[in-house]
Amino acid sequence: MLAASCCDRRMCVCPGPRRIAIPVRSSRLPLLSDAMPAPTHLFPLIRNCEISRICSTMCYCHHKHLCCLSSHFAHGHFRYAPQKKFAALYRPKENFYQFVHARDYASTPQRFYLTPPQVNSILKANEYSFKVPEFDGKNVSSVLGFDSNQLPANAPIEDRRSAATCLQTRGMLLGVFDGHAGCACAQAVSERLFYYIAVSLLPHETLLEIENAVESGRALLPILQWHKHPNDYFSKEASKLYFNSLRTYWQELIDLNSGETTDVKEALINAFKRLDNDISLEAQVGDPNSFLNYLVLRVAFSGATACVAHVDGVDLHVANTGDSRAMLGVQEEDGSWSAVNLSYDHNAQNEREVERVKTEHPKSEEKSLVKQDRLLGLLMPFRAFGDVKFKWSIELQKRVVESGPDQLNDNEYTKFIPPNYHTPPYLTAEPEVIHHKLRPQDKFLVLATDGLWETMHRQDVARIVGEYLTGVHHQQPIAVGGYKVTLGQMHGLLTERRAKISSVFEDQNAATHLIRHAVGNNEFGTVDHERLSKMLSLPEELARMYRDDITIIVVQFNSHVIGMIS
Amino acid sequence: QGGCGCPIPGGIQGQAGCGSGQPGLLVGDLHTAGELSDSSLTPGYEGWWWADLLLSSAGVQIHERTSVSHVSVQKGRVTGVETDRGHIKCQYFVNCAGQWAYELGHSGEEPVNIPLHACEHFYLLTHPLKEPLANNVPTVVDPDGRIYIRNWQGGILSGGFEKNPKPLFTEGRNQLEIHNLQEDWDHFEPLLSSLLRRMPNLEALQIMQLVNCPESFTPDMRCIMGESPTVRGYFVLAGMNSAGISYGGGAGKYLAEWMVNGYPSENVWPLDLKRFGTLQSSRTFLRHRVMEVMPLMCDLKVPRWDFQTGRQLRTSPLYDRLDAQGARWMEKHGFERVKYFVPPGKDLLDLDQSKTFYKPDWFDIVGSEVKCCKEAVCVIDMSSFTKFEISSTGDQALQSLQYLFSNDLDVPVGHVVHTGMLNENGGYENDCSIARLSKRSFFMISPTDQQVHCWAWLKNHLPEDSNLTIEDVTWKYTALNLIGPRAVDVLSELSYAPMTPEHFPSFFCKEMSVGYANGIRVMSITHTGEPGFMLYIPIEYALHVYNEVMNMGQKYGIRNAGYYALRSLRIEKFFAFWGQDLDAFTTPMECGREFQVKLEKGMEFVGQEALLEQKQNGVYKRFTMFILEDHDTDMDLWPWWGEPIFRNGRYVGKTTSSAYSYTLERHVCLGFVQHLDEKTGEELVVTTDFINQGEYEIDIAGQRFQAKAKLYPFSSLFAQRRRKDEVELSGYQRE
């Protein structure tokens, strides 16, 4: 029943395989597999006819292809088989509830669809735009501004985003962070990473000045100006702890004073590594405050990828850890759009990355290192912040968990040790940094988590954003010329073009526009409202099956300034 | 336009359409359709060939591919044309340059303002149908779909007037670019959709071309013709708003008459170039306005519609004050005027929903303003009126004005005279009030849109005399109209001067102080027949005087009012208004204003002979007031203007204006009644008996309502209540 091959991704929105294949609470599908020793009272309910009904519920949003679940089931089967005991620990009641809920949903005859205004309010709930202020009627920055947006699939969303202007050095920092096994790590990284980068970039004198100010209790020079959506929050409780770690970092930088000018690439790498190190240390040391103690542990045991861009004049650096992606939108001379990758995905699809992991561990582990395209058969990204389960020794993990708070001990995930775990660390937060000199034809940069890239090809992303930013006027005009065209054909063509245009005008934010396409695109590459509405009407528990959290930042460049500098 | 023409009950054919090789017209969604018998075939481009032939045989030379650089003018007259092939001497020049008429008008030393602007206009040409269309297939116009469809060489020619026009050539000088205009299919899409909706069978028809052919539009959707107000002999015929082919013949005829006789044979004031001035010549204004005008071509034109673009150009100094008090505005000759004031807390309909031929949403608002005018006092800002000052060193001013105006202007200083400015035929060129400020200077008040026309008329008729000066002082004065029985109390309290009729009789003018401000020209006229005063205030005092009047007026129940209230008051008093009721083909004799004509004033005046003749022989039309008897204000369609008048069941004329009289609680229509011979249709003299001895009906959109005809206004109903005692008492109350 479940063995059919997966249908085309673009046609049928398969749920992206979960980033981390650890039995977390919301995973319920393995229960359908015979390999799972599911509680007996549950089985009669979902057996026989019920199964097909549930499955069609899952797929109701689109085609009746059962196959679209198959990859997931298959994964689940293999993945969970060795860890039956965790599934057995599941609380059956919860699963029961979830199934009942799903069934209720399917048995409701009239389908509830969102209206276009409702769809818009969902899509626009998290949108944010920033325009670089002009001086004297001129914007001297190479960045015109940026649009960003998020669409949750997880509840709560596990993606984070950050944007800030460096005040003590020049340049702007923008980043997207994709958390897994919870949002704690992504949250911490989104709050802290830019400070680490900014500090790494600061010249010696400024560091001294800041240290002196802290020492004497004077007002601190502001380092970053944040550009935040009201929903983007910083944790107040941990700020003192985070600040102390940061201060230790700059004090070390002061002591180390190499006297050389700071190289951006090096600064980015150092900042990434240092922050990951601090996260790890804070978890090991713990905190007397029980709330904070639990927080630092949650941060360390969860994980996050990061894709950060630093723009200063024509110098664009992208530091990437994990499988979020940065893409440059380039306008060719004929007005068409092309995409240039500015980051490499750190996952099993990247051969160099697989190679790297293999060279870092003994030959004996070669087979167990990457399984089902996952690190140790578990983790999709091959680099990440946090995830101390893949970094610490088994002894350290046990010690920390045992001495940790009860909540930690209750959590099956933290207790469990990855299989074939012989030579940690298996995971690093060190980024790959790509430097690019901006040219006038480089019009925009898209930073997005894999939720976007799973559903859209980068070429389409470049075209959609490009056409959005330049306005639809760049749509090639139609000329009949000598061709034989009937009124009916022309009418069809024009109606289609108009539909395209109207979808552009609905959005004031390039990221929102991109999300609209990512979620609502039909086979023709135009937004299908019905489909969009169905996708957004999915109940919380189902949403994650059909899409991942999506976070997008679109940075628009100022071609005039870039042209003048270069 | 404007009026409620009756829909022509046309034979709507079935789905299949006429059998004459016409592809099926889908008519299921139509409410009304009509077929105009002779409009089906208009001469297209072929007409030009005939004209060419005819003119050549009459000795006319036609220079093609010749460009005019400018028109030479001497002493305010056209003398010739400079072309790229040399100079051509001429007496008359007609600017028919279409969308380049604006530029050509500005190319000479003496600019001629021809306000028009081009918009892109698209039409589609197709290959022939399998069964080509017959030549007699009528042109189909679908206003809802905004398209027209006609036969073109066996195929279809279809274009339309889209909702989102594309104005072009705003910067001018683009003669060459017109050949390189691009087709814009995306822009044409809505029109193509409605074409296929109306005629679905055309789907398989092959496209030949989408033609982009700009058309020129004017600020009020009416074409522009006539002589320039500044250059004699310079004529214009342009801005046909895409209807050049249909209007060409008639427009050409009137223009030819104009050039030969000095005036056309019909009233063409709505088309006269002089209805515009320099103020409508801004390219930005024109660009914005034509974007509103072009879609109107296919829209339903409702009465009292105001343009929404190109507004707030000329405003009174009180504009902001009035606006803050709920004023709703209309525009006349670029000037913002108040229609009425929406009381706080009251909501009116949205602009689009307020479009109606029935009782409008402002009915009660205007009613309460009228009531206040009748019972207390209202103030109306009437600054838009055209104001001229004519003065001289000797008695040249008096002499000239006596010649130009029909009434006797040799009145004591301080008197105001209401008089017509007539043409040779006795017709009204202007209807104005003139105050004699001193022995040698006069203050002339004319309707707002007379600014250009009246100026040109005076310039052309006054003698060249350096001792005689006329000045346009429109912008120098803010005019406040205090209407109502308590106006006298307000003014006397503000000026410490007795304002009672004994001291300040009606039709009197005095410079006095109001509040702190001195030099306010106060006239005891209100343009409505109601008691009250007009205040002509130098603009720097406007706000002060307005504030004083409003403060002092509070205890008398003063409030703001607008032009709709004024209009209702005026029409129920049978006051004709120039431009609506009166035109160049109406004489004072025909509208009951013999008393404003002094045939024996001791000197000749323009139109005297014609009036003498009318006095002896009688008139052929008569301005009459009708009170609708069985009209239900709430339920029935309202009369607006242009409704046919029937006497004893026979058509005798049309209404020119109408208003609801809140005093009579009836509708009042004003219009002209003719006496047409029953057999020959010949025009006969209209006598008082003829008017009085008839049963009248007014036809509103096909429904006839009984009407009572009157030649003179009601007097008893409106008896002025004298309040002499109260007035005097209130004068002391301030002590």
ipTM confidence score: 0.79
* CATH code, domain carrying B490: 3.30.1360.120
Query: Are residues A566 and A437 in contact, defined by beta-carbon separation less than 8 angstroms?
Result: yes
* Nearest by Cα to B239 from B428, B98, B378, B424: B98
Residue B39's pLDDT is what?
Answer: 46
Say what the pLDDT of residue A533 is: 87
Paired tokens of B339: 């229609």
A488 to B196: CB separation less than 8 angstroms, yes or no = yes
* Residue in B677, B708, B711, B713 with CA at minimum distance from that of residue B694: B708
Give the 3-state DSSP-derived string for A281-341, with helices as H, strands as E and coil as C: HHHHHCCCCHHHHHHHHHHHHCEEEEEEEEEECCEEEEEEECCCEEEEEEECCCCCEEEEE
CA B105 to chain centre: 23
Quote the distance between the C-alpha of residue B66 and its chain's center: 37
B192-251 residues touching A, CB cutoff 8 A: 192-193, 195-196, 202-207, 209-210
* Partner-chain contact A484 B206, CB within 8 Å: yes
Q: How far is A497 from chain B (nearest CA, A)?
A: 8
Residue B16 scores a pLDDT above 60 = no
Is B689 contained in some domain? yes
Identity of the residue in B184, B186, B192 whose CB atom sits nearest the CB atom of A487: B192
pLDDT in tens, A299-345: 999 999 999 999 999 999 999 999 999 999 999 988 889 999 999 99
Sign of CA dihedral B704, B707, B711, B713: negative
Relative to beta strand B93-95, strand B234-238 is parallel
- Please report the pLDDT score of residue A2 as a whole number: 37
Terminal alpha carbon distance of chain B: 57
pLDDT at residue B10, as a whole number: 34
- Residue B386 domain flag: no
- Closest C-alpha to B126, from B182, B59, B194, B203: B203
Q: Are B440 and B391 in contact (CB under 8 A)?
A: yes
A398 pLDDT above the threshold of 70: yes
Amino acid letter, B406: S
* pLDDT surpasses 80 at A92: no
Cβ <8 Å between A475 and B186? yes
Closest CB from A477, A486, A490 relative to B182:
A477
Q: Is B616 exposed, middle or buried (0-12, 13-18, 19+ CB in 10 A)?
A: exposed
Mean pLDDT for the stretch of residues B255-264? 93
Closest CA to B432 of B388, B495, B486: B388
Q: Check if the beta carbon of residue B587 is closer than 8 Å to that of residue B607.
A: yes
Residue A248 structure tokens = 């230790």
Cβ neighbours of A484 in B, within 8 Å: 206
pLDDT given at position A476: 62
A70 and A76 in contact (C-beta within 8 Å)?
Answer: no
State how far the Cα of A547 lies from the Cα of A542, in Å rounded to an integer.
Answer: 9
Over residues B201-220, the mean pLDDT reads: 91
Show which of B232, B265, B299 is a domain's final residue: B299
CB contact under 8 A, B207 and A490: yes
Q: Which residues of A touch B124 (CB under 8 A)?
A: 487
Residue A524 banded pLDDT, cuts 50, 70, 90:
low
> Residues of A with CB below 8 A from B210's CB?
480
Beta-carbon separation of B203 and A491 below 8 A: yes
* Chain B residues within 8 A of A471 when measuring between CB atoms: none
Q: What is the pLDDT of residue A535?
A: 87
Measured distance CA(A251)–CA(A278) in Å, rounded:
14
Q: Which residue of A has its CA nearest to B127?
A: A486
Local structure of B232: helix, strand or coil? strand
Identify the pLDDT of residue A479: 77
For an interface test with A, give the residue of B124, B203, B210 to mutate (most A CBs within 10 A): B203
Confidence of residue A16 (pLDDT cuts 50, 70, 90): very low
H/E stretch holding B709 reads: strand B703-710
**Closest by Cα among B278, B22, B297 to B142:** B297
Length of chain B: 735
What count of Cα atoms within 13 Å lies in the side-chain half-sphere of residue A40? 0
Least confident of A184-188, A488-492, B565-569, B703-707: A488-492
Percent of chain B surpassing pLDDT 90: 69
B575 and B551 inside one domain = no
Indicate if the pLDDT at residue A71 is higher than 80: no
Instruction: Compare CB distances from B196 to A491, A493, A497 and report the shortest one's residue.
Output: A491
CA angle B567, B357, B696 (to 5 degrees): 70
pLDDT band at A82 (very low <50, low <70, confident <90, very high): very low
Residue A383: pLDDT over 90: yes
Instruction: Give pLDDT tens digits for A406-432.
Output: 777 777 777 788 888 999 999 999 999
B60 vs B735: CA distance, rounded Å: 82
| Distance (Å) of CA A169 to CA A552, B105, B703 | 25, 61, 82
State pLDDT tens for residues B614-668.
999 999 999 999 999 999 999 999 999 999 999 999 999 999 999 999 999 999 9
Is the pLDDT reported for residue A96 higher than 90?
no
pLDDT of residue B424: 93
Q: Give the domain range for residue B58.
A: 40-299
The tokens for A299 are 């941060």
Instruction: State the pLDDT at residue B173.
Output: 63
CATH of domain A116-476+487-565: 3.60.40.10
pLDDT at A73 over 70: no
Checking if the pLDDT of A236 tops 80, the result is yes
For residue A197, give the nearest of A187, A189, A209 by alpha carbon: A189
pLDDT at B310 over 50: yes
Both tokens of B182, joined, read: 């691009």
* Contact yes or no for A460/A340 (Cβ under 8 A): no
**Res. A114: pLDDT tops 90:** no
Q: Apex CA B548: angle with CA B545 and CA B552, to 5°?
A: 140
B97, B175 in Cβ contact below 8 A? Answer: no
Q: Give the other-Cβ count within 10 Å of A282's Cβ.
A: 23
**Is B195's CB within 8 Å of A487's CB?**
yes
Tell me which residue in A475, A477, A491 faces B193 most closely, judged by beta carbons.
A491
Mean pLDDT of B10-32: 53
Give the whole-angstrom CA distance, residue B332 versus residue A488.
Answer: 46
Check if the beta carbon of residue A305 is closer than 8 Å to that of residue A384. yes
How far apart, in whole angstroms, are the C-alpha atoms of residue B133 and residue B155? Answer: 7
B490 and B619 part of one domain:
no
> Does residue B584 share a domain with residue B523?
no
Cβ atoms within 10 Å, residue A249? 21
pLDDT of residue A196: 95
Please provide the average confidence, as pLDDT, over all residues in chain B. Answer: 88
Q: Is B356 exposed, middle or buried (0-12, 13-18, 19+ CB in 10 A)?
A: middle
The chain A residue lying nearest B210, using CA atoms, is: A480
pLDDT value of residue A279: 95
Task: With beta carbons under 8 A apart, name residues in chain A contacting B159.
Answer: none
Same domain as B659, residue B528:
no
Interchain pair B203, A487: CB under 8 A: yes
Q: Report how many domains make up chain B.
A: 3
CA distance B461 to B455: 10
State how far residue B183 is from chain A, nearest Cα, in angstroms. 7
Res B13 pLDDT > 80 = no
Q: Contacts of residue B192 in chain A, CB cutoff 8 Å?
A: 487, 490-491, 494
Distance CA B501, CA B664 (A): 26
A98-112, B58-72, B148-162, B474-488: the lowest-pLDDT one: A98-112
Alpha helices in B27-147 (DSSP H): 46-57, 101-105
B183 pLDDT band (50/70/90 cuts)?
confident
A37-41, A167-171, A436-440, B303-307: range with lowest mean pLDDT: A37-41
Relative orientation angle of helices A116-124 and A510-520, to the nearest 10 degrees: 120
User: What's the confidence (pLDDT) of residue B19?
Assistant: 38
Express each pLDDT in B346-355 by its tens digit. 888 777 778 8
Mean pLDDT of chain A: 78
Contact state of B189 with A486 under an 8 Å Cβ cutoff: no
Q: Could you write out the three-class secondary structure of B172-208? A: CCCCCHHHHCCCCHHHHHHHHHHHHHHCHHHHHCEEE
- Which of B299, B330, B345 is the endpoint of a domain? B299
Of the partner residues B185, B202, B209, the one whose CB lies closest to the CB of residue A478? B185
Mutate to test the interface with A, among B152, B166, B207, B210 (most CBs of A within 10 A): B207
- What is residue A354's predicted lDDT score, i.e. its pLDDT? 93
The reply to whether B34 falls in a domain is no
* DSSP assignments along B386-432, one per residue: EEEEEEESSSHHHHHHHHHBSS-----TTBEEEEEEE-TTS-EEEEE
CATH code for position B74: 3.50.50
Give the three-class secondary structure for A206. helix
Instruction: Flag if B186 and A497 touch (Cβ within 8 Å).
Output: yes
- CA-angle at B615, arms to B609 and B618, nearest 5°: 120
Question: Among A485, A487, A494, whose Cβ lies nearest the Cβ of B186?
Answer: A494
For residues A297 and A392, give the distance between their C-alpha atoms in angstroms, rounded to a whole number: 13
Per CB-CB distance under 8 Å, the chain A contacts of B158 are: none
**Residues in A touching B126 (Cβ below 8 Å):** 487
* Number of A–B residue contacts, CB under 8 Å: 61
- What phi, psi does A139 have (nearest 5°)? -100, 110
Q: Pick from B120, B129, B192 the residue to mutate for testing the A interface (most A CBs within 10 Å).
A: B192
CB contact under 8 A, B189 and A494: yes
How many Å lie between the alpha carbon of B203 and the closest alpha carbon of chain A? 4
Q: Which of B186, B189, B204 sits opposite A486 (nearest CB)?
A: B204
Beta bridge partners, B405, equal B421
The three-state secondary structure class of B167 is strand
Return the sign of the alpha-carbon dihedral for residues B561, B564, B566, B569. negative
Domain boundaries, chain A: 116-476+487-565
Helix extents (H) in A391-448: 394-403, 406-410, 412-415
B147 near A CB under 8 A? no
The confidence score (pLDDT) of residue B607 equals 94
String of b and e for B163-189 (b: at least 16 CB within 10 Å)?
Answer: eebbbbbeeeebeeeeeebebbbbbbb
CA distances from B694 to B628, B649, B684 (A): 14, 10, 15
Interface of chain A toward chain B, CB-CB under 8 angstroms: 475, 477-480, 484-488, 490-491, 493-495, 497-498, 501
- Axis crossing angle, helix A184-201 with helix A290-301, rounded to the nearest 10: 90
- pLDDT at res. A416: 82
Percent of chain A whose predicted confidence (pLDDT) is above 90: 44
Residues B482 and B583 in one domain: no
Indicate the residue of B182, B184, B185 with minimum beta-carbon distance to A490.
B185
As given in the structure block, the two tokens for residue A80 are 């969970």
Same domain, B96 and B168: yes
Chain A residues in contact with B185 (beta carbon < 8 A): 477-480, 490, 493-494
**Do the Cβ atoms of B189 and A498 come within 8 Å?**
yes
Q: Is the pLDDT of residue B91 over 50?
A: yes
Pair type for strands B77-83 and B644-647: unpaired
Residues of B in contact with A493 (CB under 8 A): 185
